[in-house]
Amino acid sequence: MRNVDFYFDYLSPFAYLASLQIADVCREANTELTFRPVLFPALLQHWGQRGPAEIAPKSVHTFKECLRYARTRGIPLRAPKLHPFNPLLALRATWAADSNDERRRIMHALYTLGWAQGGDLSSETEIVAALSAANLNAAILIERAQSPEIKQRLRTETEAAIARGVFGVPTMIVDDELFWGVSQLEYLALYLTDRDPLAGLDWTQLIPSGKGAWRRGVSE
């Protein structure tokens, strides 16, 4: 059976929105789904980017875009108490799960805390409460999250994501085909059901053959 890798970080409202729909997309296509939390700031650092929250007008636009998307679909959305915030504990607690299904449950519990209820995703107290409310063993998860093994797991998974070309979240990868952003769920669904608009097309003939200019201070 095919598998979709879902890369996310709790910093991203787009990843929150995608997290609510990705399972349905995979289920309808009889495709397995693996949840892979990664550190978004490390992706930005590697590729030399700035996050939407680091550019004031882009931050406002991003939140308004997500609010429009959510309200037209009946999805609860309210920004976390602080943004950006330090996502390390939340990400590590997610990797502390015993299984992929438990990672899914943790992901939904923490996204609900931050992006549905407006909680503080950097607060251990609030993270523990959210995990406990979802009938997860918060004490064990938090203890594991502090271990060297789990800290290294997050680093390793983020490095592996970068090696696969992941530059932002949410990213979905199947058959080495990369789909970035909640807007790409539509095209992922088409791809998984053999209706990809690019199927049979040599798209490499339609992209630029090279670069003719560079922004000052930016090089290959």
**Tens digit of pLDDT for each residue in 28-66?**
999 999 999 999 999 999 999 999 999 999 999 999 999
Enumerate domains of the chain plus CATH numbers: 3-206 (3.40.30.10)
**Predicted local confidence at residue 219, as pLDDT:** 64
Separation between Cα atoms, residue 95 and residue 174, nearest integer Å: 21
Are the CB atoms for 39 and 166 separated by under 8 Å?
no
Which of these, 142, 130, 166, 140, lies nearest to 38 by C-alpha position? 166
Q: How confident is the model at residue 215 (pLDDT cuts 50, 70, 90)?
A: confident
For the segment 63-100, what is each residue's pLDDT rounded down to a tens digit?
999 999 999 999 999 999 999 999 999 999 999 999 99
Strand partners, 177: 174
Q: pLDDT tens across 105-145, in order?
A: 999 999 999 999 999 999 999 999 999 999 999 999 999 99
**Count of beta carbons in the 10 Å neighbourhood of residue 59:** 15
Per-residue pLDDT, 79: 96
Average pLDDT over residues 157-176: 98
Quote the distance between the C-alpha of residue 22 and its chain's center.
Answer: 11
Residues in Cβ contact with 218 at an 8 Å cutoff, skipping those fewer than 6 apart? 48
pLDDT at 214: 84
* pTM for the full predicted model: 0.96
Q: Which whole number is the average pLDDT over 189-214?
A: 94
Confidence of residue 1 (pLDDT cuts 50, 70, 90): confident
